[in-house]
Each structure stands twice: as C-alpha cells, then as structure tokens.
C-alpha cells in the first residue's frame, strides 16, 4: 500500500510523517498546497518545501490554490495519485478530523492520524529531541514576536506553558519550518530577508528568501 502525507513544512506534518513511517506505512508523496499571498498554512515559500522533499527523498505534489479552490484542487490531486491512505497531522480539533475523514472517504483513502489525541507536551518534547525547526509565524496575541526565527526548544515550551498557550500551537498560535531530523539527508539552509505583518490577522511571519 502506498500513501501520501499532507505537508505544510512544519512540525505537525513532519512528526506525523515520522510516526507513520515508524508504524510501517509506505509514504511516497508529500502533498503541499501553496498560495501566492501566503495566506494558507504556514506561508512557507514553495521552493523551501521543495528542498524538504528533496532532502527526504519523497516526491512532492504541489498545487497553487486559494481558500475557495483548496478542496477542489485536493480532489484533483487524489484523483491523480495511486494512493490507498493519507497521513495527516491533526491532534485535537474535531472539525479538522471530521473534514479529513469525510474527504478521505470520498476518495476511498484511509485516513491516518498518528498524532490524534496524543499528549501535546509529550509530542513537543519528542519532536525537539529529534528534529530542528524554526519559528516562522506567530500570532502576537499569544506568542511574542521576539521568538520569530528561533529554534524550537524546551525554553520555548516553558514559555508556552507559562502563558497558557497550546504547546503544539494547535490553534494557530505559532507555526514552524523543519530544517533537519530523521530521514533528512541534509539540513535545509534558511535565509531571512525580514518580517511581514498580515494586515487582517496581525500575524507576523518571517520573510524567507
């Protein structure tokens, strides 16, 4: 059986891939949806995700979408790929899981959610012991902008817990980009040009070049 992993480039998708591979799933594709205005997902430039896929030795299926076309384009991707299951990084949000299950059922694909309802502190600690990731986006209502560009660490976990922020940023409090870890053949070099502020949400992102 062959599968895909829904891929953002961040810690959740990376950890779900890692867990799925450990469980024996044969993942061959990373499916990544991108948006010119960087409004979807982590806003990571497409070429950075390409470097991750290359380092992991997996085939990248990347599509440019809008919020309105997201599901239709995902439909097209799954119609084209010879896959029997899909790996997703959802942990706690029932509405996300319900969408994944419904979407996969429509395509006769088995949903695999290796992080679902696992303890978020345990997941965070497991991740930072094995992977390197930098913080690329924060919601300043929850996480200070001075954390941008810094590596995930136990110190950051302490900060999150002290401020009652979800350890894995499950509600969009922060986002990451993974640069190295198990199955990576080489570390991803990250170059920062500055910071961008979203005028509608107020979220602050690293501008990667």
Does residue 155 have a pLDDT over 80?
A: yes
Q: Write the pLDDT tens digit of every residue in 46-91.
A: 999 999 999 999 999 999 988 889 999 999 999 999 999 999 999 9
CA dihedral angle for residue 29, residue 30, residue 31, residue 34, rounded to 10 degrees: -150
* Fold match, 3-112 / 120-208: no
Question: What's the CATH class of domain 120-208?
Answer: alpha beta
Give the domain ranges of the chain. 3-112, 120-208
The CATH fold of domain 3-112: Rossmann fold (3.40.50)
Residue 44 is predicted with a pLDDT of: 86
What's CA 187's distance to the chain center, in Å?
Answer: 17
Q: What is the pTM of this model?
A: 0.94
Q: Write the pLDDT tens digit of every residue in 62-74.
A: 999 888 899 999 9
Residue 86 is predicted with a pLDDT of: 98
Distance CA 183, CA 119 (A): 24
Distance CA 67, CA 135 (A): 23
């Amino acid at each position: 059986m062959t599968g895909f992993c829904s891929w953002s480039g961040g810690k959740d998708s990376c950890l779900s891939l890692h867990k799925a591979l450990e469980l024996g799933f044969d993942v061959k594709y990373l499916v990544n949806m991108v948006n010119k205005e960087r409004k979807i997902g982590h806003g990571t430039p497409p070429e950075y995700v390409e470097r991750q896929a290359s380092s992991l030795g997996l085939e990248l299926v990347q599509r440019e979408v809008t919020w309105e076309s997201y599901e239709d384009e995902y439909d097209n991707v799954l119609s084209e790929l010879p896959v029997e299951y899909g790996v997703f990084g959802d942990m706690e949000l029932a509405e996300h899981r319900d969408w994944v299950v419904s979407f996969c059922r429509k395509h006769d694909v088995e949903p695999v959610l290796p992080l679902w309802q696992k303890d978020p502190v345990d997941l965070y600690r497991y991740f930072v012991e094995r992977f390197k990731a930098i913080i690329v986006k924060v919601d300043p209502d929850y996480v200070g902008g001075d954390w941008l560009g810094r590596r995930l660490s136990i110190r950051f976990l302490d900060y999150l817990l002290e401020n009652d922020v979800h350890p894995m940023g499950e509600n969009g409090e922060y986002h990451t980009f993974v640069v190295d870890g198990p199955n990576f053949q080489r570390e991803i070099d990250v170059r920062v040009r500055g910071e961008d502020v979203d005028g509608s949400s107020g979220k602050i992102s690293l501008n990667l070049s």
